[in-house]
Amino acid sequence: MAARRRKRGRRNRGRFSALYKLLSILLIFAAIVTGCIVFFRANQIVVAGKTRYSEEQIIAAAGVEQGENLFRLNKFEMNRQIRSKLPYIDDIVISRKFPDTLVIQVTESAPVAALESGGSWWLMDARCKLLEQGDASLAQGRAVLTGLTPLSPAVGLPLAVEEEEQKKLESLTGLLSALQERGMTEHLTDFIDLSAENQVRFGYDGSLTVEMPLFDDFSGQTWRLQRALEELEAKNGTVSGTLQMPSEGNKAWLLAERWLPGTQTTAQTPAPESDPAPTPTPAVEP
C-alpha cells in the first residue's frame, strides 16, 4: 500500500510540475506582449525620399499618429491608403526601427505619357497608373497615347480599357516597364501609337520614330534598341527617321523618312538611302 501511495504521489507531482511550467510560459509570453504594447511606440515617424508631397501629407495619408504601438500598425493598410490618396507615390517601403521609430520610404512616379478622354487630359506613369487630370496643357512636351479608349478613368487607378483592347494595354505596360528599367522613358516624345493591330510606334528624342511588334519580348527589344541607338549615335550623331525593330534577328533598320501619326504606314523594307544598323551582339539580357 505504501509503495502505491509513493507512486501516486510522484505522478501527482509530475502533473503539477508540467502545469507549473505551462503557466510560467504563458506568464512570460504575456509579459513580453505587454512590454511590446507599452514600450514599443512610434514616437518618431520618419519620411525618406524626395516627392512633391510634404512629410505631413504622407504621414496623414498613412493614417498613423505619434505614440501608436509599432506592432499594431498595419503596414499593408498604410501602403494602400498612401497610394490611393497620393497618386504620384510609386514605391513604398514601411519599416519599424526599434525601439520607437517608424520609417516610411517613398519613391515618386514620373509621368511618361498623356492621353485624352471625355474632354479631359490625363497623365500616366510607366505602370499605366493615372497620376493627374487636367486640360490640354498636361500634354505639352509629353508623348500622347493613341489607339486605346480609356474606360472610366480616375486619378490614382490604373488605366482601364474594354476587353478587346486589354492585350494592347498589357503590351503597353510591358513596353513602358522595359523602357523604364533601362532609363529610357525620359526620351519618349510626341506620341505612343497603338492604332495598328500588331505594331507599336513611339517618338524618341523628338526626331526619331521607333517601330516594333506589339506583342513581343520587350526586355530583349529594348536591349536591342539601346544598342542600336548607341551605334547609330556614334556613327551619325543625331538619329532621325524611322527605326524598325523586327521581332527576330539582330538588326534594326533606319529609314530616312520619319513615320508620324496620320501619315501612311512606313514600308517594312528599308528605302535605298536607309542605313542598316546591326546591333553588335545577339539580343540577350545584359
Strand pairing report for 143-146 and 113-117? parallel
Confidence of residue 18 (pLDDT cuts 50, 70, 90): low
Q: For residues 245 and 242, give the distance between their C-alpha atoms in angstroms, rounded to a whole number.
A: 10
Question: How many residues does the structure list for the chain?
Answer: 286
Could you tell me which residues are beta bridge partners of residue 116?
Answer: 121
Cell of 95: 519599416
Cell of 272: 535605298
Averaged over 142-166, what is the pLDDT?
96
Task: Determine the pLDDT at residue 153.
Answer: 96
Task: Determine the pLDDT at residue 151.
Answer: 96
Q: Write out the H or E segment, with its range, that includes residue 122.
A: strand 120-124
Class of domain 113-278: alpha beta
Task: Determine the pLDDT at residue 250.
Answer: 76
Q: Tell whether the model's pLDDT for residue 10 goes beyond 60.
A: no
Q: Write out the H or E segment, with its range, that includes residue 108.
A: strand 101-108
More confident residue, 68 or 35: 68
Q: CA 84, 88, 93 angle in degrees (round to 5)?
A: 75
Q: What is the CATH number of domain 44-108?
A: 3.10.20.310
This prediction's pTM: 0.77
Q: Tell whether the model's pLDDT for residue 251 goes beyond 90.
A: no
- Main-chain phi, psi angles of 205, to 5 degrees: 60, 20
Q: For residues 90 and 107, give the distance between their C-alpha atoms in angstroms, rounded to a whole number.
A: 5
The DSSP 8-state label assigned to residue 236 in this structure reads H
Task: Determine the pLDDT at residue 129.
Answer: 96
Residue percentage of the chain with pLDDT more than 70? 78
The DSSP 8-state label assigned to residue 158 in this structure reads B
Task: Determine the pLDDT at residue 162.
Answer: 96
Cell of 138: 498636361
Domain definitions of the chain by residue range: 1-39, 44-108, 113-278
